[in-house]
Structure 1
Amino acid sequence: MTVIAGVAGRPIAHSLSPLIHGAWIAAAGLDAVYHRHEPADATEFAALVARGRAGELRGLNVTAPFKEQALALADTVSPVSWACGAANLLLFDRGLVQADNTDGTGLMAALAEQAPALDVRNRNVVVLGAGGAARGAVAALSAAGARVGVLNRTRARAEALAADLRATVADPATLGTAALVVNALSVPPDIDLAVLRSDAVVMDMTYRPLITPFLAAAGARGLTAVDGLAMLIGQARPSFAALFGIDPPATDVRHLALAALGKGVA
């Protein structure tokens, strides 16, 4: 029987997840498909989850704006999803919905790949933003032993996130001590990169464009930059294993994704 999975979000046409999972499906020779779903609203997303409960789908990756709703609709929730307050992966099994979150795994995988010398244990790390993406980053980095500070334009939101995840609220002066700065905003952050340490690592969770203005400015300073595509692929690996029951085969999905982005081979 064909295994049916996919990704749900709005908008979703830009998503590279079908390309990545499709390449792994083909390489593994699986009888499986992975589709895009673009629910118009929360009601349509709930209907999509109901289809999963009914056995029509094996699972869904979930992106904005449905990650919080995905968590709320689940019957069982992984500890990391609970900590993040959001789910990016739903698995359907005999009428039950299991929620998980692989974003943190993806973030740590991206750092290991593109900044292998970085060790965040007992180091100051600053996460820019206080939304769902920031929650995933803070949870993962805290679990890795970092001292995480949250810097956000609205201090009250930073305080709420920090209280939930046992982080601290950062201020611009904190940037000067950070071994890592992660942009979890959907827009370029308004910070002065000149204050960063010369050995600081800078990461942007956005992958369109691949080299964001934030990463370009970091590169101009000679800082190590980590892109959002590495995180996307990093979070897709455990998702694929959960959805299809095998580890992703050795296929250069980054090459395919770069081609799709019109960037050629990095």
Structure 2
Amino acid sequence: MRIARILIIAGSDSGGGAGIQADIKAVTMLGGHAMTAITAITAQNTLGVQGVHPIPTDMVLAQMHSCISDIGVDAVKIGMIGSADTAMAVAELLTGLSDVPIVFDPVMVATSGSVLADAATIAAFEKLMAIATLVTPNIPELAALGGEGIAARFGTHVLAKGGHGVGALLVDRLVGPEGLVTDWTDPRIDTPHTHGTGCTLASGIATGLGQGMALGAAIARARAYVRAALTIAPGLGGGHGPMGAPPEFLAHFHA
């Protein structure tokens, strides 16, 4: 069986905890082939983001064309987009792909609190939500985008992530155009090493969709992967460190 080809459109995290680095790790561990279109380079570590350099839109599109025209693509994951112009151009290019699931993680703020998208870029997110199979905002991002009603407004599914909530239980809600589809409730894992959870989850879901899994099953597997990775975080850096890579997923999901 051909390996699932996952195109990741996102920014680079020099500290290796989130962004393209986390995406590649998740896709690989879950049995996919990761391809990348890098939208921005960041100087970043567990303490914060020290610098951001957006990649020109033409170069982002060139990376996408190179992958799509030769290798092909079974699913797309979109993370940090870099600029409003890039968001619009990426949406236009992806509109031409037929029957390719798209997971959009609307990255606005890093785990450290650093802002990664300006107002114009956030406004352009509407173009990406309109073509997405699934949008995966956390609580603050969901509020900024307009709440769970964006599922009906854009005809998409929304995974409302509960990681920024309070209490001993974490609840993730999957909402479709007609309302709640299902939810997942788990005990909250007490760790400061949560850098890259959103990137990892979205890439894990995209990998499952690219492998032909149903949406609910892809989300469930990706959530299990993230939770396992949180429990074996290596404790690197002085702030929000990266997660680990649970080896049991590599062995099981390559089959």
Would the TM-score normalized by the shorter structure come out above 0.5? no
Q: Which has the larger radius of gyration?
A: 1
Q: TM-score, normalization: structure 2?
A: 0.42
Q: TM-score, normalization: structure 1?
A: 0.41
Does 1 or 2 have the higher relative contact order (CA < 8 Å, sep 6+)?
2
Name the one with the larger helix percent.
1
